[in-house]
Structure 1
Amino acid sequence: MGIDPNKPSAARIYDAFLGGTHNFAADRVVATRAVELVPDIPEIARANRAFLRRAVRFALSRGIDQFLDLGSGIPTEGNVHEIAQAIDPGARTAYVDVDPTAVLYARDMLAADPNTVVIQADLQEPGTVLAAPALRDLIDLSRPVAVLMIAVLHFAPDSPRLTAALRDYRAAVAPGSLLAISHTTGSGADPAALERIADLYNRTGTPLVLRDRAQVAGLFEGWELVEPGVVFCPQWHPDPEDPPEADPARLLMLGGAGLARH
């Protein structure tokens, strides 16, 4: 599937941040350097996973039992289908990623689960994603679906192609659907350190695009934002047992969700 262990991959670097084992030496070099620049990165990655968990649970609380995880990355503990099926064993999940490593590991891990599929595609090609037979066989787009774009759009520069893709996903889903996004921001960090991290990612061929709160909110065009809107991830629907985060801005991740009303 064209996996090059000598070329760092954004999906494998993130796996390294989470302490996973599905990464190569080249990925760990980038991850180690990034943590040297911003020591909170492993905690940032965990906070992002916690946001994902809460977003899935929020969708289920609204009766949504179908999930389209775009830019899903390498499966790690606490992935979408695990969170969802722990509450609703019949919940269905379609994982989509362009990275062949992520797809290879996901297909291997999930082969025995009839309620999941793994599709290799670019999320910026919604026609390809939504027409995939494996997705059509599992996900009923005439019913509400939770579209998840977790820690992925900061790898997608602003472009007409991205704007059109976001519009097409909104047009494709039924009323009552949900869009959840988490996204890296520059607020609360040393600009020079972030610039060096962005340079590290640029060298992997995956540009890192930092957006502010207003820009992330703009990604929800056509969706009705759920309260409290776009906030730092620890502030979005925190679990009652979560200790309050004294400085959520230091975790550099914004998150929010929107509903399709019509």
Structure 2
Amino acid sequence: MEQQDTGLDTPARIDTGKPHPARMYDWFLGGKDNYPADEELGRQLVGFAPDIPVMARMNRAFMHRATRWVAGQGVRQFLDIGTGIPTEPNLHQVAQEIAPDARVVYCDNDPIVLAHSEALLRGTSEGGVDYVQADARDTAAILEHARRTLDFDRPIALSLIALLHFISNEDGAYELVEHLKEALAPGSYLIISHLTPDFHPEEASRKVTDLYKAGGLTMDMRSRERFARFFEGLEPVAPGIVAAEDWHPELGEPVPGQEDVRSGAYVAVARKN
């Protein structure tokens, strides 16, 4: 397996006093790579909405299914922004199971993800895996680094899983997606999952948003119409915009406990022609 130089030899400082979405997600999934601040906010959220850990697993299961589907369409390059702490199987493991020569670039802004990037860099001998620490809004730096591993003249699957609801319109959520879309070659795919208020009572969605904001985090759970805007100019893949659990469930195994749970997330995959 070819590995690129990340250029990240100097360890970044981990702010353990403030919750971080990647570490909270790890806590929801039962991981150990989180801190008291992450667990505290996580417990507050689960205390109000006990299904959140199941919803997190449903979201991750969508990522696995979408990766399998896109790899099945012949795509051999993946750019995953908002990677999170490694939880097997990781995206490259799913992709390389179908296509051993698949090349994957991961990106996250949390130093603890970098600390575990060695697990993300273990792939097949035929493929390539790289990792860059960068903020999702710094698309220029992400694209510059990704070009060391990925050929942007060929199709790429751009994966933004459970990321964009942490970025407000004012912080450029739509602009960063447009910038990334513009860099993709025809035949590329955009894969997004995103929390929405549409599946739950308005009061409950407002409470979750307020809890995140109280923890110092942005939370913008977008409606279907606002979610669809991310895919402007692309051709939707069937079944279009649906709840996470409804996107090609035949491509994966059901998540334990999901039978009576709504994921609370819209998902979609679309193609650039």
Q: TM-score, normalised by structure 2?
A: 0.88
Could you list the per-position Cα deviations for residues 188-219 of structure 1 after superposition, in whole angstroms to 9, with x for gaps in the alignment?
32433332322222133321111111111111
Deviation at 1:98, TM superposition (A): 1.5
Distance 1:112 1:55, change over 3 A: closer
What is the SS of the residue equivalent to 1:239? Answer: helix
Show structure 1 runs of 5+ residues with no match. Answer: none
Q: Which amino acid aligns with 1:110?
A: L
For the pair 1:52 / 2:83, whether they are aligned, the reply is no
Task: Give me the CA root mean square deviation.
Answer: 2.0
What is the SS of the residue equivalent to 2:75? Answer: coil
Deviation at 1:160, TM superposition (A): 7.3
For the pair 1:235 / 2:242, whether they are aligned, the reply is no
The residue correspondences of 1:12-27 to structure 2 (distance < 5 A) are: 12-27=23-38
How many residues align structurally? 257
For the pair 1:155 / 2:150, whether they are aligned, the reply is no
What is the SS of the residue equivalent to 2:249? Answer: coil
Show structure 2 runs of 5+ residues with no match. Answer: 1-11
Please give the alpha-carbon distance, in whole angstroms, between the structure 2 residues aligned to 1:124 and 1:222: 21
The residue correspondences of 1:114-129 to structure 2 (distance < 5 A) are: 115-129=128-142
What is the SS of the residue equivalent to 1:219? Answer: helix
Aligned partners of 2:26 and 2:32 also within 8 Å: yes
The one of 88, 93, 96 equivalent to 1:82 is: 93
Aligned to 1:141: 152
What is the SS of the residue equivalent to 1:57? Answer: helix
Aligned partners of 1:155 and 1:206 also within 8 Å: yes
Distance 1:75 1:240, change over 3 A: closer
Please give the alpha-carbon distance, in whole angstroms, between the structure 2 residues aligned to 1:128 and 1:223: 24
Please give the alpha-carbon distance, in whole angstroms, between the structure 2 residues aligned to 1:95 and 1:19: 22
Deviation at 1:247, TM superposition (A): 5.9
The residue correspondences of 1:1-262 to structure 2 (distance < 5 A) are: 1-106=12-117, 108-113=118-123, 115-132=128-145, 135-159=146-170, 161-239=172-250, 242=253, 250-261=262-273
Deviation at 1:221, TM superposition (A): 1.2
What is the SS of the residue equivalent to 2:147? Answer: helix
What is the SS of the residue equivalent to 2:266? Answer: strand
